[in-house]
Structure 1
Amino acid sequence: MADAETPTAARDYRDTVFLPETPFPMRGGLPQKEPLILEQWGDLYGRLRARRQADGAPLYVLHDGPPYANGDIHIGHALNKTLKDFVVRSRFLLGYDVDYVPGWDCHGLPIEWKIEETFRAQGKRKDEVSKAAFRAACREYAAGWIDVQREQFKRLGVIGDWAGRYATMDFATEAAIVREFHKFKSSGQLYRGSKPVMWSPVERTALADAEIEYHDHVSPTIWVKFPVTGATDDHPDDLLAFRHATPAVVIWTTTPWTIPANRAISYGPEIAYGLYEVQSMEQGLEFEPWAKAGDRLIVADKLAEEVFKAARIATWTRLDDLNPSGLECAHPLAELHPGYGFSVPLLAGDHVTDDAGTGFVHTAPGHGADDFEVWRAHGHHEVPDTVDPDGAYYPHVPLFAGLKVLETEGKKTGRFGDANPAVVQKLIEAGTLLARGRLEHSYPHSWRSKAPVIFRNTPQWFIRMDKPLGGDDGETLRELALRAIDDTAFHPAGGKNRIRSMVETRPDWLISRQRAWGTPLAMFVDKHTGQPLNDPEVDARILKAIEAGGADAWFETPDTEFLGVHDPAQYEKVEDILDVWFDSGCTHAFTLEGRADSRWPADLYLEGSDQHRGWFQSNLLEGCGTRGRAPYQAVLTHGFTLDENGEKMSKSKGNTTDPAVVIKESGADILRLWVALVDYAEDQRIGKQILQTTVDAYRKLRNTVRYLLGALNGFEAAERLPLEQMPPLERFILHRLWELDGQVRRAYGSYRFQDVVRPVLEFCSNDLSALYFDVRKDSLYCDRPDSVRRRACRTVMDEVFMRLTAWLAPLTPFTMEEAWTTRFPDAGTNCARVIPDTPAAWENAAEAERWGRIEAVLEVVNEALEAARRDKRIGGALDAWPAVTLPAEAMAAFEGLDAAEVFRTSGAELTPGETIAVDVRTADHPKCARSWRRVPDVGSDPDYPDLSARDADAVRYLERV
C-alpha cells in the first residue's frame, strides 16, 4: 500500500464505462454503398414472392402504368416509380405476396419522329424506306431505351418482376391488343364515322382528347357580315325592314381559315336579337372602317355595343326585334366566286350563347364538333372537305387552293400559314369584313409535337359510348364506366369526381391513327356496306400471324392468307393503327389475366393526376367494354413535380432536378425520403434547398439508428426483461411503439407514406433523442450490466430497433438494410421481414398521460438550467441540484420516479406549489470520477473512494466478471 503522505494517481475508469460502439458510420456514403447493396440483393423481388407464396400469403396486385420508352428518366418518373415501390415493399412488409410487373409503352409518334429524323440525316425520306425497315428501326430504338430505363429504375431501389417485364411492342402483346380490338369489333361497338376530329397536320394524324394540351395562343379575330337574302313566310314584318338596305347577320370567329368551309349560321333560340342601323362612324381614325352609315346589322342585343365598338361605329339605332328563325344568307365570299354561291341557312343551336362574340356562330360542319352536330341535326348530311391531311386547302376550294392553314415543314413547322391572312384579304375585297382584331386565348396543341391542331372532318374509327351493349336493354359503355367509377376507391377521393366528369361528357372514343408505328386495326371492311368483317376464322388467322411476326405480319401477309373463302376484291384492308391509349388500355388483359400468380382486376393503379383522362380512363373503357367493369379496385394519383419556386420544370429554364445527379451526389435513399416526406397528392417542389432539408431529416434517422446499434452492442436474449418489471419510462416508450405501430400499419394500408415517416421522425427526435436516450444515457453507460434499469433500457432499445428498421424499410431500404446487416450479418435481408407483432399489453394511456405532464415540467427545468449555464453558475446539468415547486397534478406525475434522473442533474428537490418554478442550485457534493455525478455517497465505498456507491458497485462487478 502506498504511504499515506504519497499522492495516489487518479484511476482512469473509461474502460469500465459502456460507451456505444458500432461499425455503422455517421456518414451514409450512400452513392458508394447502394450499388453494393443492390448487387447483394440480386433478384430480391423473386425471392420475396417465393417466400410469401410458400407461406400462403394473400395476393396483392399493383399494375404498372407504362412509361414511354424514349429517353432517360426524369424526376416525375422517379417520383412515380418510387411511390410504386413504396406500395410493393410496404405490402410485402404487411405480409402480402405482391405481384408487380413493370412495363413500357413503345408505340406512337415520339419514337416515329425520332426514326424519321434518323433517316433524314441519312438523306432518306420516310416514303423511301420500307414500312418493315421503318418499324424495325422503331422497335430497336424503343428496346434500347427500355434497357436504359430499367437500370435507372433499379438504381432507385425499385423492385419488381424485371425479367418478366411487359412492352406494348412485344409480338404476343400486339396480338393481345388486336384480340381486345376484335372484341369491340365483334360486339358492334365499333363504327367508322366521318366527323370533325382533332387533327395534327404536323403529325398527319387524328388525336384523341387525352393527346391534347392547351397553351396560350394569339389568334386573329374577325367580325364578318353575311348578307340576308331571304326568309320564310314567318318574317313578313322583317322583310319590310329590308327594302331600303340589305341587312347582314354578323358572326365572330378566331379561325378565319374556316370561312371557306362555312355552310350555316347558328343562333340561340332564347337569345334576344335586334336589327340595328348605323348612324355614324368614329372620326379621326388612321384607317377607313369597313362599316358605314346606313348599314343594317343583326346581332344579339346583349353584345351589340361590343360589336359596334370593335367596328368603330359611333352611333346607331335599334330598328326592331328580330327572330332569326327561317332567315337565309349569302356566303360572304359569294361576290368573288360562284363556288360560294350557295345559300347559308340560320339554324337553331343550343351551343350558342351571348357571352361573347355576336350571338351568332359561324358554322363550318367540317371543322367543329358543335358545327357538325347542329348541321346534322337539321337534316344535312353532306360535310364539305376543305383541308387536306397536311393542313392545306384542297385543290377544289375556290380562291384558296393549296394555301396552308399550318406549316408542316422547315423552320416554320407548327406555325399558322398563309390561309388566315388570305381569307381576311378576300373578305375585305368582298366588302363583308366588319372588323378585325387579335385575341390571346387557350388553344389546343398536340402534347407530343407541341404544335397547334385543327378540327378536320375525316373518316375515322370510333367506339360508341352510348349504344346499349347486349341488346336494347343493356347498359351503354358510358353507363358501365360511370358505375365502375362509383365502385372504385380513389386516393385522394377528389379523383373520382374528376374522372367522372370527364367520362360523363366525353365523345365517342376515337381509336384510329394514320401512322406507321403501332398496333394495326387488323380487320377487313366490306367495300359495299362499309361494315367490318366478323369471321372468327379470319380473326384467328390474323392473331396467329401477329403472334408469330408482330404487327408487321398484318402489313406484309397477302390478304388471301387471312380471308380464306372470302373474295379479296370485296374487302378493304384497314391499315390505320390503334391509338396508343388503346394499346396501353389493354395492358391489364395481357399482364394480369391468364397468370397463375396474378389476379384480375388489380388492387391498385398508381399514376399522375393527368392520367384521369389518359391511362386510367383508357383502361376503364377497355375493361368495361370487354368485361363489364374496371380492371382496378382502387386508383391512386399524384401531382406534378415543380421547382423550388413552384414553377414548372423546363430544360430551357435550367430549373430541372435530374434524379441521376441526386443519386450520384446524395444517394437514392435521399430521393426516396423526399418522396416520403411530400404530400404526393398535391404538386410537389424539389431543388437543392429542399433536398438539403431532406438530408437533415435523413441524418436524424441515421443517427438514431446508429445510436441504437451502438447501445445494443452485445445484447443477447438472456438480457431481456419482461414487461411487468419495466420502469415507468420504458413502459411509456413501449406505449409509444404500440401507438406508432398502429399508425404505421394504417398509413401503409391507405398509401399515406407521409403519415409513416413524419410520426417516426418526430418519435426519433422527441421521444428518443430528446427524452429517452438522454435520460437513460447514465444508466446505459454506468449501471451494472445486470441491473434492472439497464436491462430494461436495452430491451426497449431492441424493440425500437426491430420496429424502426421494419417501418422504414419500404421508404429508405438501403439504409435500413445496412443497419440490419450490421447488427445481424447472418440473418438475411431486412426487406424480407414483416412488421413485428406489437403486444396489446404495451398500450398504456395512463403512462402516456403521466409523461406528458412530466415533459411539460422538464421543458421549464431545461430552460432554467440553460439560463444558469449562460450565466456561468453551472458548467453542466450534473453541477446542478434544482429545487422545483410543482402543482399537485405535476407532483403526482413524479411519484415513484427519481426526478434527478429525469432532469439529468445530480439531484433535485420537489416541493408542492401553485405553479411550476425552478431554483437552480449547485450540487455541493464530490464529483464521481466515473459518472461525473455530484452525489452525497461519493467515497462511501472505501475500495473506490472517488466513486459513488452505484459506480463502485458496477466497477466491482465488472472486475469480478
Structure 2
Amino acid sequence: MCAETPELPDYKDTLNLPQTDFPMRAGLPKREPAWLERWERIGVYDRLRAAAHPGRDPFTLHDGPPYANGHLHIGHALNKTIKDMIVRSHQMMGYDSRYVPGWDCHGLPIEWKIEEQYRKKGKNKDDVDVVEFRQECRDFAAGWVDVQRAEFKRLGITGNWDDPYLTMNFHAERVIAEEFQKFLMNGTLYQGSKPVMWSPIEQTALAEAEVEYHDKESFTIWVKFKVDMSGASSGTPAENAARADLTTNAYVVIWTTTPWTIPSNKGVVFGPDIQYGVYEVTKTPEECWAAVGEKYILADNLAADVMARARLGDGMYRRLGDIDRDQLEHISLQHPLAGAEGADGHWDDTRDFRAADFVTDTEGTGFVHCAPSHGMEEYEMYRDLGMLQQVITYNVEDDGKFRDDLPFFGGHYILSRKGGEGTANKAVIDKLVETGGLLARGKIKHSYPHSWRSKAPVIYRNTPQWFAAIDQKVGDGQDTHGETIRQRALTEIDNVNWTPQSGRNRLHSMMEARPDWVLSRQRAWGVPLTCFTKKGALPTDADFLLRDPAVNTRINEAFEAEGADAWYKPGAKARFLGNDHNAEDYNQVTDILDVWFDSGSTHAFVLRDREDGTADGIADVYMEGTDQHRGWFHSSLLQSVGTTGRAPYRNVVTHGFTLDEKGMKMSKSIGNTIVPEEVVKQYGADILRLWVAQTDYTADQRIGPEILKGVADSYRRLRNTMRFMLGNLNGFTEDQRVAPADMPELERWVLHRVAEIDAQVRAGYRAFDFQGVFRAVFEFATLDLSSFYFDIRKDALYCDAPSALRRKSALTVLDILFHRLTTWLAPILVFTCEEVWLERFPGDDSSVHLQDIPETPATWRDEALAAKWAEIRRVRSVVTGALEVQRRDKVIGSSLEAAPIVHVGTDLEMLLNSVEFEDVCITSAINIDTGMPPAEAFTMDGVDGVAVTFAKAQGQKCQRSWKILPDVGQYEYPGVSKRDNDALKELYG
C-alpha cells in the first residue's frame, strides 16, 4: 500500500447511485387529470395535424358512433381504448393518424326519454308540435354528448374533440337525406307491404341489428283443421271413394308457438317428401280434447309425440294407413273457427293447402300453418305464387292490438303495454277450445327476438314500409363490383382485411341470406324519408314516386340551413315541390329513416366531406364489437355499395364482449358490473388501458377486482423498469454516448434485442395486436432488462469510473432503451409514458405523444451474438439455481459471497472465458472447469452439459462495491479493489 493516504471520502457518496424524483407509487387517479389539462393546453392533437406533411401518409380510423343517451359502460371503455391505441400507434409509426369522434343522435331511445318526461308532466307527445318535440330530442342528445365526451377524454382518448361529428348536425342531416335520395333515384327504393319485425311497445319496425335474442316462455298449441273433400273429384269414382273413407272425420293438425296468428291463418302447407299417416282415436282419457273416431293426419316421425301431447297413450289410437302427396293435394281444409257463431263468416272460406319446401318433420306435426302477414317464409311463398292479395291480412294494429272489429278478439293485445304477455293468446286458445279446434296445448321456453332498446318481445307484422331492394339492378352505372347491392357487398367483403378473419365469414353469410333493407321507421326523431308519392297511384306504378333532382336540391339546401326540421315545418310540401308540381297531387312521406342508415352514411359526411377526412372517402379502419357485423359494419357496407359501388373501409377490426371474472355476462341485477369511472377512481385510466392491452380483445374478455389487481402488479413492474432508467440517466450527456461498434458484447446483445422487439412492436401495431405488443415489451422489460441486463450492469453503473467505457456504454444503452420503451408503450400507457418523458425532458412544449418511435438501425441485429448470449444465459441459469440453494440454506446472503466452479465442456469453456462471466452471474469470481464434475454438483433439468459446484469467494470485501476479491486493500484508497480505486482516483485524484 502506498505510504501516503489521501483524505478519505465516504465511499457511499462516491457511488453513481440512481437519482430521480419519479415516484414509485404512481398516484394515477389524482395525477392523470393534470396531464389531460396539459395536453389540451398545448394542443397535442392539433400540433400533430399541423406538423403533417406530404411525406407522412394519412391514416384514418373512422369512429363508429356510440349512442348519446347515458354514461359509459365497460364496453365503451374497451372499444374507445382499442381505437385510441390504433390511432396513437400509427401516429408514432410515422403516419398522419386522424381520429374524429362521433355520436349517433337520432332514434327511438332518445325519443322515448322525451316521451317519459312528457308522461311525468301529464303531457301527450301527439299534442306537442313535432318541431318542438324534435328540438327537445336534439337538446337531450347534445347534453349526453358533452357528458360522454368528458368521460372518453378522461380515459386518455385522443382525437378532434372540439369538432366531433354528430348525426344531428345540419350538414350531416343534409347528407343523410342526399344518400337516401340516391336510392330513390337509382331505382332501388320501393314501398312494400310485408312482414317485418315490429315492436308493439315502440310502435315501429325494427332492423335485425336492433334485435337481440333472449329466452321467452311461449304458449304452444296443436290445432285441428278439418279436412274437406267436397271438391276432390279429379280421380276415378273408386279413388274418390277411398279418399273420402280415409279422410272422413279427419283433421290436419298444426303446431304453433304464436296462437295469436291463428285468426290470420290463410292456409296450411306440408312437406313434399315427408311420410304422413292417418291416425284414428280409439279411446280417450278424461280431460282430453280428442274424440273417439277422430282421425289426425300427421308426419309419422312426429305422430307419437303429438298423441302424447293430446294425452293419448299407447292403445288409444291406431294408424289406418299412409296418405301420399297425391292424396294430400286433393284435400281442402276448413279453419278451426269456420262456422263459429258470431264470427259473421269471417273464417268460413276454404283454407289453401299445398306443398312447401320449408316444412320439416323434426318438430311439431309435419304441417305449418300459414299466416303470411306474420311470417316471411309464407309471405315469400305466396308472393312467388302471385297470391298476396288473397292472403294478406291487417288484423294487428301498430300497438299490437287486434283491430276492434275482428270477431271475438278485437281489442285484445298480443303484449301488455309493458311488454309482458297480453290477453290475445289466451283469448284465441279459449275460443279454439270452445269451437273444438284445439287438440293440445303447452308452453315452451325458446330463444325469441326482443327489441334491444325496450327489451320487450317483438312480433312479425305486415305493414307498409319502405325498402331498399338489394337484388335489383342499381341504376347508377357503378357496376364494377356487381349490378346489385348484394353482389357488390359480397364482392367488396373480400377486398377488406378482417381482424379476426372470422369476421369476414360472419358478415358474408349474413349478406348472402339477408332480405331487403327496411329503411322506414314510424317515429318522429330522425332524418325523414325525403320523398313524395303520387296520390291515387299504386306502389308498382312508374309515377308512384316523384323523382325530380330539382326537388331534391331544394330539400337538401333547406336541410343544410335549417336541419331536417325543415321537412316538418308548415308549408314544407309546397315549398319543396315548388312551381313544378301541384302539391295537392302528392303525399309527403312522414316516416323517418332507420338510424342504421344514418350511421351507415357517416362515410359520406365525415370521410368524404370533412377537411380531416380522407381523399377517397374510405377509412383505413372501422373498429367495433362483434355485434356490429349485423349493425354498423353491415349497414355501412350496404349504404356505401348502394351509392358508391365500394366498401367504405379497408380494414375491419372486431372485439368481443366483456364478461365478469367468472365469465358471466354483466348485469346490474346480478351486481357484477364494472363501471369504468370506478376503475379510474381506484386505479387510474392507465390501469384500465393496460387491461385492454393485456387481453385478447378479439374474443370475449373478462374483468373484475382480482384481474385488475394482476394488471396493477404488471404495471408496478414496468414502472420499476422506467424508474431504474430515469435514475441512472440523470445527468447523462451526449459526450458520454458510445458508438455501438465500440460497446461491450452485453450492450450489443441488448441492441440486438431492441431491434428484434422493435420489429415485433411495429408488426403488432400494424396488425392491431396490442396483446402481442405488450407481451413482447413487458417480457423484454422484466426478463431481459430488469432481471438480467440491469441486474448485471448495476455494478458498472454505480461503481465504474465516469470515463469507463463499460459505464458509458451502459448509459448509452439506457438512453436508447428509454426512447424505445416510452414510445413503444405510449399508445397504451398514455399517462405514465408522458410522466416518464417529462421527468427527463421537462418543458412547456414537451410530450412523448409528439414523438415517433425511433428508427432502429438494421446493423443492430446480430444473430450470431444472440446465439452466443443465449448459451451464456443457459449456463447462467444453472449458476443462479445453485446459488439460490446456498442462499436458501443460509450459507450465503448475497451472490457476491460466492465464487462457484462451473463444470462445462471445452466448447463452452472458450465461450464463457470470452466474457466477464462472474459479472454476468453477479458473483465475485467464477472458475471454469472442463473436468468431470463431482457427484454432488448442482444440475438443472433441461440444461445439459452444465454443472456447478459451490465455493465461497476468497479475499476481502470491497467497502465500495461489496465484491470479495483478493486484491482489496492493496491500493491508495483503503478497503477497495483496483477498479474502485481507479474510480476514486478519477473522482478525487
Q: Same fold (TM over 0.5)?
A: yes
Deviations 1:146-183 (A, max 9, x none): 00111111111111111221111111111110010000
Q: Are 1:688 and 2:709 an aligned pair?
A: no
One-letter amino acid matched to 1:561: R
**Contact residue 210 and residue 451 of structure 2 kept, 8 A:** yes
Q: Provide the C-alpha distance between the structure 2 equivalents of 1:486 and 1:848, rounded to a whole number of angstroms.
A: 41
Uncovered stretches (5+) of structure 1, i.e. residues with no partner = none
Q: What is the Cα-based RMSD across aligned positions, in Å? A: 1.9
Q: Provide the C-alpha distance between the structure 1 equivalents of 2:907 and 2:443, rounded to a whole number of angstroms.
A: 75
Q: Provide the C-alpha distance between the structure 1 equivalents of 2:627 and 2:112, rounded to a whole number of angstroms.
A: 23
**Contact residue 887 and residue 893 of structure 2 kept, 8 A:** yes
Once structures 1 and 2 are overlaid, which stretch shifts more, 646-655 or 63-72?
Answer: 646-655
Match of 1:58 in 2: 57
Q: Are 1:775 and 2:779 an aligned pair?
A: no
Match of 1:196 in 2: 195
* Identity percentage of aligned residues: 52
Q: Are 1:356 and 2:363 an aligned pair?
A: yes
Once structures 1 and 2 are overlaid, which stretch shifts more, 300-309 or 102-111?
Answer: 300-309
Deviation at 1:951, TM superposition (A): 0.6
**Contact residue 2 and residue 8 of structure 1 kept, 8 A:** no
User: What SS class does the counterpart of residue 151 from structure 1 fall into?
Assistant: helix
Match of 1:924 in 2: 954
Match of 1:574 in 2: 589
Match of 1:270 among 273, 278, 290: 273
Match of 1:618 in 2: 635
**Contact residue 279 and residue 317 of structure 1 kept, 8 A:** no
Deviation at 1:235, TM superposition (A): 5.6
Deviation at 1:99, TM superposition (A): 2.1
One-letter amino acid matched to 1:224: V
**Contact residue 826 and residue 833 of structure 2 kept, 8 A:** yes
Deviations 1:689-735 (A, max 9, x none): 11111101111111101100111111111111112211111111111
Q: Are 1:343 and 2:350 an aligned pair?
A: yes
Deviation at 1:260, TM superposition (A): 0.4
One-letter amino acid matched to 1:450: K
> TM-score normalized by structure 2?
0.94
Match of 1:247 among 244, 247, 250: 250
One-letter amino acid matched to 1:621: L
Match of 2:975 in 1: 946
Deviation at 1:238, TM superposition (A): 6.0
- Alignment length (residue pairs): 948
Match of 2:261 in 1: 258
Q: Are 1:852 and 2:870 an aligned pair?
A: yes
- Give runs of aligned pairs for residues 652-667 of structure 1, distance below 5 A: 652-667=669-684
> TM-score normalized by structure 1?
0.96
Q: Provide the C-alpha distance between the structure 2 equivalents of 1:351 and 1:576, rounded to a whole number of angstroms.
A: 34
- Give runs of aligned pairs for residues 590-601 of structure 1, distance below 5 A: 590-599=605-614, 600-601=617-618
User: What SS class does the counterpart of residue 603 from structure 1 fall into?
Assistant: strand
Q: Provide the C-alpha distance between the structure 1 equivalents of 2:146 and 2:787, rounded to a whole number of angstroms.
A: 47
Match of 2:183 in 1: 184
Match of 1:750 in 2: 767
Deviation at 1:117, TM superposition (A): 0.8
Match of 1:560 in 2: 574
One-letter amino acid matched to 1:577: I
Match of 1:895 among 913, 922, 926: 913
Match of 1:637 in 2: 654
One-letter amino acid matched to 2:67: Y
One-letter amino acid matched to 2:602: T
Match of 1:678 in 2: 695
Deviation at 1:239, TM superposition (A): 5.1
| Distance change >3 Å, CA 353–CA 780, structure 1 → 2 | same
**Contact residue 276 and residue 320 of structure 1 kept, 8 A:** no
Deviations 1:798-851 (A, max 9, x none): 111110011011111111111111111147211111111111111111121112
Q: Provide the C-alpha distance between the structure 2 equivalents of 1:659 and 1:892, rounded to a whole number of angstroms.
A: 57
Deviation at 1:308, TM superposition (A): 1.2
- Give runs of aligned pairs for residues 28-107 of structure 1, distance below 5 A: 28-42=26-40, 43-53=43-53, 56-107=55-106
Q: Are 1:470 and 2:475 an aligned pair?
A: yes
Match of 1:153 in 2: 152
Deviation at 1:128, TM superposition (A): 2.1
Match of 2:939 in 1: none
Deviation at 1:133, TM superposition (A): 1.7
Match of 2:416 in 1: 407
Uncovered stretches (5+) of structure 2, i.e. residues with no partner = 933-944
Q: Provide the C-alpha distance between the structure 2 equivalents of 1:33 and 1:598, rounded to a whole number of angstroms.
A: 34
**Contact residue 368 and residue 455 of structure 1 kept, 8 A:** yes
**Contact residue 103 and residue 165 of structure 2 kept, 8 A:** yes
User: What SS class does the counterpart of residue 38 from structure 1 fall into?
Assistant: helix
**Contact residue 851 and residue 893 of structure 1 kept, 8 A:** no
Q: Are 1:551 and 2:564 an aligned pair?
A: yes
Deviation at 1:896, TM superposition (A): 1.4
Match of 1:835 in 2: 853
One-letter amino acid matched to 2:960: R
**Contact residue 379 and residue 388 of structure 2 kept, 8 A:** no
One-letter amino acid matched to 2:495: D
Q: Provide the C-alpha distance between the structure 2 equivalents of 1:238 and 1:91, rounded to a whole number of angstroms.
A: 79
Q: Provide the C-alpha distance between the structure 1 equivalents of 2:510 and 2:691, rounded to a whole number of angstroms.
A: 32
- Give runs of aligned pairs for residues 136-151 of structure 1, distance below 5 A: 136-151=135-150
**Contact residue 228 and residue 248 of structure 1 kept, 8 A:** yes
One-letter amino acid matched to 2:768: Y
Match of 1:533 in 2: 546
**Contact residue 335 and residue 430 of structure 1 kept, 8 A:** no
Q: Provide the C-alpha distance between the structure 2 equivalents of 1:118 and 1:16, rounded to a whole number of angstroms.
A: 74
User: What SS class does the counterpart of residue 608 from structure 2 fall into?
Assistant: coil
Q: Provide the C-alpha distance between the structure 2 equivalents of 1:852 and 1:335, rounded to a whole number of angstroms.
A: 92
Match of 1:876 in 2: 894
**Contact residue 212 and residue 447 of structure 1 kept, 8 A:** yes
Q: Are 1:425 and 2:442 an aligned pair?
A: no
User: What SS class does the counterpart of residue 649 from structure 2 fall into?
Assistant: coil
Once structures 1 and 2 are overlaid, which stretch shifts more, 231-240 or 383-392?
Answer: 231-240
One-letter amino acid matched to 1:328: S
Once structures 1 and 2 are overlaid, which stretch shifts more, 528-537 or 114-123?
Answer: 528-537
One-letter amino acid matched to 1:732: W
User: What SS class does the counterpart of residue 69 from structure 1 fall into?
Assistant: coil
**Contact residue 238 and residue 322 of structure 1 kept, 8 A:** no
One-letter amino acid matched to 1:148: V
One-letter amino acid matched to 2:76: H
One-letter amino acid matched to 1:514: Q
Q: Provide the C-alpha distance between the structure 2 equivalents of 1:432 and 1:74, rounded to a whole number of angstroms.
A: 51
Deviation at 1:543, TM superposition (A): 1.3
- Give runs of aligned pairs for residues 184-333 of structure 1, distance below 5 A: 184-230=183-229, 231-234=231-234, 237=239, 240-243=242-245, 245-281=248-284, 283=285, 287-314=286-313, 315-323=317-325, 324-333=328-337
One-letter amino acid matched to 1:882: P
Deviation at 1:597, TM superposition (A): 3.8
Match of 1:497 among 491, 499, 505: 505
**Contact residue 8 and residue 973 of structure 2 kept, 8 A:** no
Deviations 1:786-807 (A, max 9, x none): 1111111111111111100110
Match of 2:398 in 1: 389
Q: Provide the C-alpha distance between the structure 2 equivalents of 1:830 and 1:234, rounded to a whole number of angstroms.
A: 89
**Contact residue 82 and residue 675 of structure 1 kept, 8 A:** yes
Deviation at 1:110, TM superposition (A): 0.9
Once structures 1 and 2 are overlaid, which stretch shifts more, 862-871 or 480-489?
Answer: 862-871
Q: Provide the C-alpha distance between the structure 1 equivalents of 2:435 and 2:893, rounded to a whole number of angstroms.
A: 98
**Contact residue 477 and residue 621 of structure 1 kept, 8 A:** yes
Deviation at 1:626, TM superposition (A): 0.3
User: What SS class does the counterpart of residue 520 from structure 1 fall into?
Assistant: coil
Deviations 1:463-492 (A, max 9, x none): 001001239996111000000101111011
Deviation at 1:229, TM superposition (A): 1.1
Q: Provide the C-alpha distance between the structure 2 equivalents of 1:81 and 1:769, rounded to a whole number of angstroms.
A: 32
Deviations 1:390-428 (A, max 9, x none): 1111123121111111112xxxx1012111111111111
One-letter amino acid matched to 2:976: L
| Distance change >3 Å, CA 234–CA 699, structure 1 → 2 | farther
One-letter amino acid matched to 2:958: C
